[in-house]
Amino acid sequence: MGIGSYELGMKRLTQRREDAKARRKTLPWRWTAAGAVDDSPLDPDMINDSVAPILAALEPRAAAELCLRAAAEADAEVAALSPAMTAAIEQAMAEGRVFMRLDRGLHRAGHLADIERALSG
Task: Quick: pLDDT tens for 23-44.
Answer: 555 567 677 777 788 776 666 7
Highest average pLDDT, of 25-34, 85-94, 97-106, comes from 85-94
Tell me the C-alpha to C-alpha distance, in Å, between residue 76 and each of 13, 73, 116: 23, 5, 26
- Domain positions in the chain are 3-120
Gyration radius of the chain's alpha carbons: 17
Q: With contact defined as beta carbons under 8 Å apart, do 78 and 102 qualify?
A: yes
The residue type found at 74 is A
Residue 6 has pLDDT above 70, yes or no: no
pLDDT in tens, 39-85: 766 667 777 788 888 888 888 888 888 888 888 888 888 898 999 99
In this prediction, residue 82 carries a pLDDT of 92
Q: Within 13 A of 118's CA, how many CA atoms are on the CB side?
A: 8
Band of residue 110 on the pLDDT scale cut at 50, 70, 90: confident
**Model pLDDT, residue 1:** 45
Farthest-apart Cα atoms in the chain, separation: 55
